């Protein structure tokens, strides 16, 4: 079945460090890919998306490129801030005809320290 | 402002009791979803509805029920048959089935 695998956390970085959170997927078709962010006690917010191979999603300094050849969608940011501390979820959306389904990874917690 | 409103934020259930979680959206979205989130796990789909008066089971529907009588409302009932209901419940909606889902702020359900 379809699945998303994320690197385990927590990831702890100093402010202004470079961030990479790895995400790989398995899907039977051609999914759309997403990164969501969850701040403590809140719901998920859509961070960025990519709908086809080689698309780059970007938002708030975060970027991720849809790599079909490596089935990956790694999240990157050049300089993290304390306010970026949250849990990040990679997800894929596949329309199967019987309905769509958003499949999530288990989430990666990011902690940014001064 | 448009958005998804979940209530209550915290809910406590007694043994053998049914409880209902509210989800309302004023985004005019056709599709609505319920997910369950457990610590250290991703979100798991409970039920979804792509159009009013129609809904489908997700991956973990046992012990839950839903209704979709109005476009803007998709309440979730956690029945006494759900033996491990303690979790964070998230409601989401999307304009159509192929578009990104937007989430509410969640309801945390605990057992007394």
What is the pLDDT at residue B107?
A: 96
> Which residues of chain A have a pLDDT value below 50?
none
- Chain A nearest C-alpha distance from B64 (Å): 18
pLDDT of residue B42: 82
Query: From CA A86, how far away is CA B85, in angstroms rounded?
Result: 25
- Token pair recorded at residue A49: 């998306």
Looking at residue B41, its pLDDT comes to 78
With beta carbons under 8 A apart, name residues in chain A contacting B25. Answer: none
**A82 Cβ neighbours under 8 A, 6+ residues apart:** A15, A112, A113, A114
pLDDT along chain B (112 residues), means of 10: 89 90 96 91 90 93 97 96 92 89 93 84
* pLDDT of the residue at A5: 95
The interface residues of chain B toward chain A in range 36-55, judged by CB-CB distance below 8 A, are: 40-43, 45, 48, 50
Q: What is the pLDDT of residue B98?
A: 78
What pLDDT does A81 receive? 97
> Measured between CA atoms, how close is A78 to chain B, in angstroms?
25
- List of residues 6+ apart from A63 with CB closer than 8 A: A48, A56, A57, A75, A76, A77
- Taking CA B82 as the corner, what is the angle to CA B78 and CA B88, rounded to the nearest 5 degrees? 60
């Amino acid at each position: 079945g379809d699945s998303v695998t994320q690197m385990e956390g927590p990831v702890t970085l100093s402010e202004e460090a470079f961030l990479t959170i790895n995400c790989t997927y398995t899907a039977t078709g051609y999914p759309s890919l997403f990164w969501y962010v969850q701040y403590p006690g809140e719901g998920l917010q859509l961070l960025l998306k990519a709908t086809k191979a080689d698309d780059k999603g970007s938002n708030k300094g975060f970027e991720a490129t849809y790599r079909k050849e490596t089935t990956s969608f790694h999240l990157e940011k050049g300089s993290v801030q304390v306010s970026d501390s949250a849990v990040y979820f990679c997800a894929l959306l596949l329309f199967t005809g019987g309905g769509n389904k958003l499949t999530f990874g288990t989430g990666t917690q990011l902690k940014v320290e001064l | 402002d448009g958005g998804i409103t979940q209530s209550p934020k915290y809910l406590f259930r007694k043994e053998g009791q049914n409880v209902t979680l509210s989800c309302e959206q004023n985004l005019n979205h056709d599709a609505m979803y319920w997910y369950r989130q457990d610590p250290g796990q991703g979100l798991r789909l409970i039920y979804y509805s792509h159009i009013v008066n129609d809904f489908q089971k997700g991956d973990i529907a046992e012990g839950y029920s839903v209704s979709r009588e109005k476009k803007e409302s998709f309440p979730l009932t956690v029945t006494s048959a759900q033996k491990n209901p303690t979790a964070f419940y998230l409601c989401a909606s999307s304009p159509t089935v192929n578009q990104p889902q937007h989430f509410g702020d969640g309801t945390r359900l605990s057992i007394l």
